Structure 1
């Protein structure tokens, strides 16, 4: 189970008391995490999620808190940091930075249809529009420079076929870097996979796990999202779902000509980011009882994205 820091009930009760949310009924670790320790918390006044931040600089946490406040104020279905009765949002538990957030209703969708993708496209557009006028700056630690450096370092441990695929992708990233960074910007979720979205029936009820959120090109966020939500088991983009997601997004935020031009490249960039991060995680956590996502999924998707036949709709 992916709980890196186990908690005892007495220390948890002491931590929760200042929120004034009543007695602790129950708590359990969440197995799906790969970077932080997360717990479902049941209190007399409701259901919550407690996160102990295991990775990343503590100085970034005020950014996450502020971003989620902005999105919550824009009526988006996101978690946000609850404050204690003294107004404190960021606290410490078991020596780790800790946040308590409302638990959103719903469950993950394993096999999305076009209607799910419409709602995901709309949600992503609303997220970008809510932050585009005043972008909260945070540079991602998994950006283009990281891809070039990490990819070069990993290459000697890959097969000849994998090396050829990655080498071509890194060369493309290096060549297009300036153009990518000049694309229209906002705040990004940057990890909008199926396991970070909640649905009740066909209704989208929540977007969670913002710990990869950053500032950057909106098109990159869209590419990350489409690569997961609109992909079949063979890594190929499924056209009806892709058109549904892109059309719903474009109806709220029309694309620019530069975005249309760089769209195929950005889909490949998004594949590289997660192929590399999963390869590194597989090496780092080998032999440990930690959820590790299969790196080969994004190797296959990157190979498939060498040809992209789904253009952005209504590009201006």
Structure 2
């Protein structure tokens, strides 16, 4: 959500008028994130998010946008892509693919408690089930194939102990992916990046209420267990050390399983998938940190955080 491409208020006005959203009165760049250019747009009809996609192609984007619309139609609180009179929800700004989606209410909870984790676990399971009849397919573009391709690029930037950990864990994940237990894991559309800052909460009668999931632009078809592991690695850890927070983890797993019970294969491979989730984000943060792109607003994430999480997951496996 950095700003790589400048968009003027005049340019935004032209697009949002085509979407019958009224006159645009304000446009503000969103700082944070590293993949796309994002703006908050205020119009006569409400608040929206304008996104210009810096890496994803016109061919890749229908999967993400149609997935959001599919989920929204099934009661999952996600941003709703806005279409023009022809029904098109993929647009063009500055010769780049773009979308306009409804802005969710509430705010992110960056210091989640047990209640927040339970709410996310519940909704994640509901999202997985709601996506079962989504008929589009697209691989997880930051999955195992990408890890194998990217690791040689980042290895020269690592200390010997880091390089050894990265290579050994990658070998382990390739081994897991070839196992019969892995082949038995249920699959479907996953978010793949459902961190604390990609979920919104409102306060209702003094209690937190989940008001939405957003930023689906890493979504793909993959195992539901990997999606769950990515969440546990962010929502249910101590950020300073990467250590598991048992109370939050138990609440998250219990709420998820109450909606969609885990299979035997999923229970068996949860420790491995927690390691996989940590590895995925360690590699991507190493890549973004050591091989950055220019941006008007950009804060690169610290790669060492997910190195710590990975070491914790290796040393202290969690079994449901």
Q: Same fold (TM over 0.5)?
A: yes
Q: Which residue of 2 aligns with 1:228?
A: 234
* Runs of 4+ with >6 A deviation: none
2:39 is paired with a residue whose SS is strand
Is the alpha carbon distance of 1:166 and 1:156 closer, same or farther for their aligned partners in structure 2, counting shifts above 3 Å? same
CA distance in structure 2 between the aligned counterparts of 1:280 and 1:140, rounded to whole angstroms: 17
Q: Is the 8 A contact 1:239 1:310 kept in 2?
A: no
1:99 is paired with a residue whose SS is strand
CA distance in structure 1 between the aligned counterparts of 2:156 and 2:88, rounded to whole angstroms: 48
Q: Which has the higher contact order (CA 8 A, sep 6+)?
A: 2
Q: Which residue of 1 aligns with 2:186?
A: 184
In the TM superposition, what is the alpha-carbon distance from 1:256 to its structure 2 partner?
Answer: 1.1
Q: Is the 8 A contact 2:36 2:54 kept in 1?
A: yes
Q: Which residue of 2 aligns with 1:84?
A: 84
2:221 is paired with a residue whose SS is strand
Gaps of 5+ in 1: none
Q: What do residues 283-306 of structure 1 show as CA deviations (whole Å, max 9, x unaligned)?
A: 222776412111000000001111
Within the alignment, does 1:143 sit opposite 2:150 as a pair? no
Q: Is the 8 A contact 1:128 1:218 kept in 2?
A: yes
Is the alpha carbon distance of 1:133 and 1:308 closer, same or farther for their aligned partners in structure 2, counting shifts above 3 Å? farther
Range with greater deviation from structure 2 (176-185 or 228-237) = 176-185
CA distance in structure 2 between the aligned counterparts of 1:92 and 1:286, rounded to whole angstroms: 22
Q: How do residues 136-285 of structure 1 correspond to structure 2 at under 5 angstroms?
A: 136-179=136-179, 180-201=182-203, 202-232=208-238, 233-285=240-292
Gaps of 5+ in 2: none
Range with greater deviation from structure 2 (10-19 or 275-284) = 10-19
Q: How do residues 44-55 of structure 1 correspond to structure 2 at under 5 angstroms?
A: 44-55=44-55
Q: What do residues 116-154 of structure 1 show as CA deviations (whole Å, max 9, x unaligned)?
A: 000000111011111124453111221112212322442
Q: Which residue of 2 aligns with 1:292?
A: 300
1:67 is paired with a residue whose SS is helix
In the TM superposition, what is the alpha-carbon distance from 1:98 to its structure 2 partner?
Answer: 1.2
2:48 is paired with a residue whose SS is strand
CA distance in structure 2 between the aligned counterparts of 1:148 and 1:120, rounded to whole angstroms: 30
In the TM superposition, what is the alpha-carbon distance from 1:196 to its structure 2 partner?
Answer: 0.3
Within the alignment, does 1:13 sit opposite 2:13 as a pair? yes
Q: Is the 8 A contact 1:3 1:33 kept in 2?
A: no
CA distance in structure 1 between the aligned counterparts of 2:67 and 2:308, rounded to whole angstroms: 33
